[in-house]
Structure 1
Amino acid sequence: MKNIIITGTSRGIGYELVKQFANDGHRVLALSRNEQPIQDLGLENVSCFPCDLTEPQDYKKVATAITDWESVDILINNAGALLNKSFLETTTEDFEMVYKVNVFAVAELTRLVLPKMPKNGHVVTISSMGGVQGSMKFPGLSAYSSSKGAVITLTELWAEEFKEKGPSFNVLAIGAVQTEMLEEAFPGYQAPLQPSEMGNYIKNFSLTGHQFYNGKLLQVSSSTP
């Protein structure tokens, strides 16, 4: 049994990850501003509470929740904010909102959890193909895609800084998945993958990927570039 923290669990990929890990017998702390969808599942080995990772005081809740955990084996930084807005209309406040969720919260939660993680632990951060240098880019995603590029570089830096004592750090740049967030940003677009399918891939990678990779970006997309 692994002790696992997952962010962004009220819907989409995060929600599927919680179900899949719990059904496999792992203990999960599910973090989201809206805890009700996870509570409604009634899973014994899952704990959750309202948690906004853009609010500094909510990190105290996380620290308290894992006080009795001997270790945190896996941290999955899955929560994300997606903004589709032309660059000339994207304000400083828009950029701050996206970066607070997609970059600053990832860094702060990882910093909080690291002392609890063993050498064979695994930090998996969910990025996007839009953040990969040389990939296809789309207008309207200046804040989103640049923030997803930032966590790719963060992952590489963490792997170097902690390469002697662990844990391992990897980042998955995923392509389009049919989530509520995608539908809100791109109404009517039909993605090739469902959240349960991507969740299964991320679950398996989180459990085993640290044996093969550290500081690596893996592109998880059925399209090229």
Structure 2
Amino acid sequence: MSLSSKVAIVTGSGRGLGLSYAQELAKRGAAVIINDIDQNIVDEAVASITARGGKAAGVAAAVGSTETAKALVAAAIENFGRLDILVTNAGILRDKSLLKMTDEDFDLVINVHLRGTFTCVREAYAYFKDNGVAGRIITIGSPTGQRGNFGQTNYAAAKAGIVGMVRTWALEMKRAGVTVNAVIPVAATEMTKTVPFFGPAVAAEEKGETMPDYYRKDLGFGTADDVAGIIAYLATDEAGTVNGQAIGVGGDRLQIWTHPEAAVTEFHEGGWDFATLQAEFADRFGASQQSVGEKFPPMPAELEAQIAR
């Protein structure tokens, strides 16, 4: 499953998860366009690939605008002659509970995650369609977009929206032979390093040790490299039958998330008026209400003690 002769764009790839994705694609033979807002970080990321014999070039620009999307596609063509793969990873966080979240907090996150995914995918798909390229588009979702999370109204909306767009694009792009999927990573990042709950896992990674089984197996939480493999696989020609999917990955775990389906369906002659709902909702629907947020299995006592120290 070589990606030699393929050209990829990875947004938000100056460091962290995005850099791991870019390095894995390059390792498999693809030429990569690195993107970040900081030119120095872009240069360092490019060097990390070229120093190992890979091919990379960079674009320092904030994702969100049509201008940046056009610049990324143009850079792929100018540097490497074509475009085959787009990974829309760029993102920011502005976490606050609802009453503390400002318009700017909301708009910034939506602009980078949701609008940035939209503009980059639109530009890449236009190139694919005009040039007869059976391209690969890989977007990045989040468990927050699937389940919700306290203090992340903006992020949850953006990530849920990305998966919604993927399902629509899978329909629209199928005839052109272009696939589009969402990957939902659960991995150590700069953000998770600040959360005490993940402390033992982060500490193990920083020591070059394997994370405890509780994280890798029970939570499906791992390293950036644990996620990079599915990114590269979805970019291959062989993955052409995978389309419109939301794929969770982390640690030792891989998941296919279901598309939303009705948990229960009931009919009532004449419809569901107020009086009928008042009389029957609790009995007929109450037990089928869905949970919100993520629920973790109990943590082993030795890990709890490690966090407490």
Q: Which residue of 1 aligns with 2:142?
A: 128
In 2 relative to 1, CA 146–75 (structure 1 residues): closer, same or farther, beyond 3 Å? same
Aligned residues: 219
Deviation at 1:203, TM superposition (A): 1.8
CA RMSD between the two structures? 2.3
Q: Which runs of 5+ in 1 are unaligned?
A: none
Q: How does 1:156-195 map to 2 (within 5 A)?
A: 156-175=167-186, 177-183=187-193, 186-190=194-198, 192-195=221-224
Equivalence for 1:38: 45
Kindly, what percent of the aligned residue pairs are identical? 23
Structure 1 counterpart of 2:165: 154
Alpha-carbon distance in structure 1 between the residues aligned to 2:136 and 2:66:
24
Q: How far off is 1:217 after superposition?
A: 1.7
> Measured at CA, do residues 50 and 196 of structure 1 come closer, stay the same or move farther in structure 2, by a change above 3 Å?
same
Whole-Å separation in 2 of the counterparts to 1:181 and 1:11 = 13
TM-score scaled to structure 2, two decimals? 0.64
Give the aligned residue type for 1:18.
A
State the one-letter code of the partner of 2:111: K
Which secondary structure does the structure 2 equivalent of 1:81 belong to?
coil
Greater per-residue helix proportion: 2
1:189 to partner: Cα distance: 4.0
Deviation at 1:188?
3.2
Instruction: Report the Cα distance in structure 2 between the residues aligned to 1:70 and 1:40, rounded to whole angstroms.
Output: 20
Q: Deviations over 1:172-223 (max 9, x none)?
A: 1223x1111433xx53342631112212232223325742221122233549
Unaligned runs of 5+ residues in structure 2 are 202-220, 256-293, 296-309
Change (3 A) 1:169 1:209: farther
Q: Are the equivalent residues in 2 in contact too, given 1:84–1:140 (CA < 8 A)?
A: yes
Alignment of 1:14-25 (within 5 A): 14-25=18-29
Contact 1:11 1:180 (8 Å CA) reproduced: no
The CA distance in 1 between the partners of 2:64 and 2:174, in whole Å, is: 28
Q: Which ranges of 4 or more aligned residues in structure 1 deviate by more than 4 Å?
A: 221-225
Question: Which residues in structure 2 correspond to 1:25-64 (within 5 Å)?
Answer: 25-34=29-38, 35-41=42-48, 43=50, 44-64=54-74
Normalising by structure 1, we get a TM-score of: 0.86
